[in-house]
Amino acid sequence: KQEVTQIPAALSVPEGENLVLNCSFTDSAIYNLQWFRQDPGKGLTSLLLIQSSQREQTSGRLNASLDKSSGRSTLYIAASQPGDSATYLCAVNTGNQFYFGTGTSLTVIP
Amino acid sequence: DAGITQSPRYKITETGRQVTLMCHQTWSHSYMFWYRQDLGHGLRLIYYSAAADITDKGEVPDGYVVSRSKTENFPLTLESATRSQTSVYFCASSESAWDRVYGYTFGSGTRLTVV
């Protein structure tokens, strides 16, 4: 069974810092990987989707990379803002279903 | 409004009662999913549906029943609620199986408490 791990579980940074969130998975046979943002009491908002053939995807201040062979993905957030405070989840698509990590809770301090 | 909506947002029920959580999507996506989110476990798949009248079990289906008579609706029923089913439930949809292009779109969730 695919296992997805996100480290750290929580992260607190001052506003303006660049930061990296990590996602690792045990089975490299994936179709794609998706990063989500979850605000407290809310649903999941899709941020970026990387296909297995891609190395990275960018959207605004966000950049996600994928190294399928080593089972890792990173989400890079540039020039962090207080509005980026949320929980970030990654999910890997094995073709049978998506497997989710438990998330990294990010707090950006003004 | 276009999108995926869940109701109710919050529900408190007693042990042993039947409760149904509703999910409605307006995109005509073929695939719909029910997940539960618990501390320490992340999101786990309960059931999914590939089309109207086609459903299948996910990772944690015990104690739940689903139906899909119409493409846009995918209700989740807890036939006899237990305290271990206290959780936040999310509905999701996608255009195709385990969408390889567009990924998932999620509803806002239903917070269920079983007392």
Q: Please check the confidence at residue A89 and state whether its pLDDT lies above 70.
A: yes
Q: Please check the confidence at residue B101 and state whether its pLDDT lies above 60.
A: no
Contact B21, B6 (CB under 8 A): yes
**CA–CA dist A8, B15 (Å, integer):** 36
- Residues for chain A: how many in total? 110
Q: Which of B49, B106, B111 to mutate to test the interface with A (most CBs of A within 10 A)?
A: B106
B58 closest CA partner among B24, B90, B83, B26? B90
Cβ <8 Å between A93 and B58: no
Reported as a single tens digit per residue, the pLDDT across A10-48 is 999 999 999 999 999 999 999 889 999 999 888 889 899
Reported as a single tens digit per residue, the pLDDT across A38-54 is 998 888 898 999 989 99
User: How many beta-carbon pairs below 8 A join chains A and B?
Assistant: 59
B99 interfaces chain A, CB cutoff of 8 Å: yes
Tell me what pLDDT residue A41 has.
80
Average pLDDT over residues A67-79: 96
- Contacting residues of A for B48, CB less than 8 Å apart: 97
Rg (CA), chain B: 13
Structure token pair of residue B92: 């999701």
- Contacting residues of A for B106, CB less than 8 Å apart: 36, 43-46
3-state secondary structure of A82: helix
